[in-house]
Chains A and B, each alone.
Chain A
Amino acid sequence: MWLSAGLFGGGVLLGAPVAFALLLSGFGYMFWAGEYPSSVSSFLFTTLNSSSLLSIPFFILAAEILNQSGATRRLIDVIDAWIGHNRGGMPVVAVIAVAFFSAICGSSAATAAAIGSVMIPEMIARGYGKHFTIGLIASAGGLGILIPPSIPLIVYGMVTEISISRLFQAATLPGLLLAFILCVVAYIVGRRSGVQPSPRRALRARLAVTWHAIGVLLMPFIILGGIYSGIFTATESAAIACVYALGLAVFAYGVRLRDVPAMLTSAAATAAMILLIIAAANLFSYALTSERVPHAMFEWLMAFELERWQLLLGLMAFFILAGMFLEVISVVLISMPILLPVLTAAGIDPVHFAVLLIVNMELAVITPPIGLNLFVISAISGMPVTDVFKATLPFALVIAVFLLALMYMPGAHLLLGGW
């Protein structure tokens, strides 16, 4: 366990790519544990081959097509046309765009990247602070896994055998509420920045811009409608998103067929980086599970014979710690099989818990050393990972307070119950 952590930490510190530092640690552990060498490649292969992970490259591809075809731009234009003329409106536009995109895409990294690549340069050009802009979008990107569809919720459903659509329903209201709260924060900070708002547009112009983007605006209804009416499964919705985005790009937004291969290559490159990290991080979590580290930690926690509220608090603290070092999907995969009986025994509804866990995981994607949103936003903005992390800190605090409120505010459980 210490060996794995040491090899990984050392590798990253020396500047080895994160995925390969994890791979190094995986080989190190397998060697130390005396396991047959084929187990590493077998494990990588099996992890990537699971049907729930299939949706990650699909969502990334859909995001890429939407960006390259100008669909994301159109989406942002609509929101800007309706509310951008208010002072401090632009950051709110960004958060709403992220929230809207989250209803199309199940991955937080792809969501942050899609909106970030358009919004970050735009906001900075208009005069908003670099740290504020980057921190806002990197943190809001976490909505990608809270507002359905959501890849971690798909994985949670598969592990716990809870209906994925039930999980999606339970996450919807909290997702919208968090988006609203981030809007308020964005508005207050944005207003104080004194940046000139977008010009106010006439109703006609607003309607024209809206009509212009109707194809993208319909997308969440097609994706979520398809899932809730059972035409396709949550995992399959990612493929629908790709096909729809491709159709939109080629038939409506004038993308030429010969431009498509470049989109595919670019999406494949991003997906490969993220999936390699996830697969290799799973090797790391195998080492932890095999050494019964999570078991020991949960048992240690149980030994205090906590009250229900104390237990929840303890678990959330544990997950914040785990979320720093592990990738979100690994966290769900290693903790839930062990935790499910504990939750049942403590009378905690696993559907409610799923929402709390995912809100917690929004912190995981912006905490070092492994935070996918940090990596992705650093890559598109050119800001070093450590600075992106610092920029997200105030927003991380907002998310943490929201998490506490979800756990302890009277009536909050109604929010979690879905509709």
Chain B
Amino acid sequence: ADVVLKLAHEAPETAIKGRTAKMLAELVDKYTNGSVKVDVFPGGQLVPTVEEIRAAARGQVDIIAPYTSYYSSIDSLWDIFYQPMLFKSPQQAIDVFSGEIGQSLLSKLDSRGLKGLAIWHDGPVYAFTRGEPATAPDVLKGMKVRVAPSKPLEALLQKSGAAPISMPATEVYLALQQGVVNGVVTTPTYAAPARWGEVLTTMTRGALWGVGGYGLAMNKRSWERLSPEQQAGVTKAVAEATKWNQSQTLENIKNSEKALADGGMKIVDLTPAQIAAWTELAKTVWATQSDEIKAMVAKIQK
């Protein structure tokens, strides 16, 4: 191969992101007639997750696909993924981020030395509890809920009277088991393989606390070094891998939910009235966001 690109990500090879990344590498090889090789480093073996965006910006690695929340640290617009109760379904999120909104987020990475390529999906973010399902904000009152650092999600938890707790994912299982935390806000696709289902009792579906996804981006200089033919090949490969990712996403969510249900988890679907109550509260969170995010929210609601 003329060019070797390093793709670093933190997920296991078997997770949906790992599989999509592997497929991307194969497709790039195919569509550039072997002139571009993508070397995949899964499991965070090359650079730590928190370092990925930086490493790609300076060209230490060429391609990355971190959780969208990491992009919030350089551009708060990416908080759109974690505006609670904004998305009605995983499918809607896929549609929104393959459209104009996704494109504008990706193109804004340009000023940071990155070429935004695509948004890959993971799963919807739901509230999981040990005990009563989170059917109304009141249920969470006084609960300690583990959440990955995210301002809008922490704000909604606080507004419903819960305490947002941040702790490393590996510590959550025991913390739940011992009642140090009583709930988590996460995706079923994360909860299932982490076997949190064993220590959680309910999952509340119907209102999305956010959308789990990844931003695929490439170092701009690495991109510009490719010949026009190679760029076209990479673009084609990205499009096809992304399409595969989207087609797998819903299937993957269904499998994870089934695994959780088989493990004895009660999955509760919210009634329209309950969704409305959550949305009312969420609106007070949206109201505190920047004007640009508010504009995006308005657009998505339409």
Residues of A within 8 A of B (CB): 35-36, 38-39, 42-43, 46-47, 49-52, 157-159, 161-165, 227-231, 233-235, 286, 289-290, 292, 333-334, 336-338, 340-341
Chain A residues near B178 (CB, 8 Å)?
229-231
Decide yes or no: A337 and B42 within 8 Å by CB, A39-B60, A234-B171 being known contacts.
Answer: yes
Q: Does B148 touch A at the CB level, under 8 Å?
A: no
B residues in contact with A227, CB < 8 Å: 174
Q: Do the beta carbons of A157 and B12 come within 8 Å of each other?
A: no
B3 touches A (CB below 8 Å): no
A-B CB contacts (within 8 Å), total count: 84
Whether the Cβ atoms of B168 and A231 lie closer than 8 Å is: no
**Given A36-B60, A39-B60, A46-B50, A164:B45 Cβ within 8 A:** no
A162 to B45, CA, bound (A): 16
A230 to B44 CA separation, bound complex (whole angstroms): 27
Which residue on chain B has the smallest CB distance to residue A230? B178
A-B pairs with beta carbons under 8 Å apart, 14 shown? A35-B59, A36-B60, A39-B60, A42-B55, A42-B58, A158-B168, A162-B170, A230-B179, A233-B167, A234-B171, A286-B46, A334-B45, A338-B45, A340-B12
Number of interface residues of B (CB under 8 A): 34
Judging by beta carbons under 8 Å apart, are B43 and A340 in contact?
Answer: yes
Q: Contacts A35-B60, A159-B44 known; A235 to B168 CB distance under 8 Å?
A: yes
For chain B, residues 42 to 56, give those with C-beta under 8 angstroms from any C-beta of chain A.
42-48, 50-51, 54-55
* B1-58 residues at the A interface, CB under 8 angstroms: 6, 12-14, 39, 41-48, 50-51, 54-55, 58
Contacts of B45 in A (CB 8 A): 289, 333-334, 337-338
**B13, B51, B170, most chain A CB atoms within 10 A:** B170
Is B276 close to A, CB under 8 A? Answer: no
Partner of A341, one of B6, B14, B58: B14
Write the B176-198 contact mask toward A (1 if CB under 8 angstroms, else 0): 01111000000000000110000
Instruction: Give the chain B neighbours of A340 by CB distance below 8 A.
Output: 12, 43
> CA A287 – CA B168 in complex, angstroms?
27
Decide: A43 and B171 in contact? CB cutoff 8 A: no
Q: Bound complex: CA of A341 vs CA of B50, how far in Å?
A: 23
Bound CA–CA A47/B54 (angstroms): 14
Summarize B's interface: helix, strand, loop or mixed: loop
A179 to B74, CA, bound (A): 50
Closest to A286 in B: B46
CA distance A286 to B169 in the complex (A): 24
Evaluate contact between A233 and B59: CB separation under 8 angstroms: no
- Give Cα A35–Cα B222 distance, bound, in whole angstroms: 12
B223 at the interface (CB under 8 A from A): no
- Pair B168/A233 contact, Cβ less than 8 Å: yes
Once the chains are docked, how many angstroms separate the CA of A42 from the CA of B51?
8
Tell me the minimal C-beta distance from A195 to chain B in angstroms.
Answer: 45
* CB closest chain-A residue, reference B57: A36
Closest residue to B44 on the A side, CB-wise?
A337
B270 at the interface (CB under 8 A from A): no
Residue ID in chain A nearest B51 by CB atoms: A46
Given A46-B50, A289-B41, A39:B179 Cβ within 8 A: no
Cα distance A162–B194 in the bound complex, in angstroms: 8
A101 to chain B, nearest CB (A): 24
A164–B171 CB distance below 8 A = yes
Distance in angstroms from B172 CB to nearest chain A CB is: 9
Partner among B54, B180, B194 whose Cβ is within 8 Å of the Cβ of A230? B180
B43 touches A338 (CB 8 A): yes
A299 to chain B, nearest CB (A): 14
Known contacts: A289-B46, A340-B12. The answer to whether A230 contacts B41 by CB under 8 A is no
Which chain A residues lie closer than 8 Å to B179 at the CB level? 230
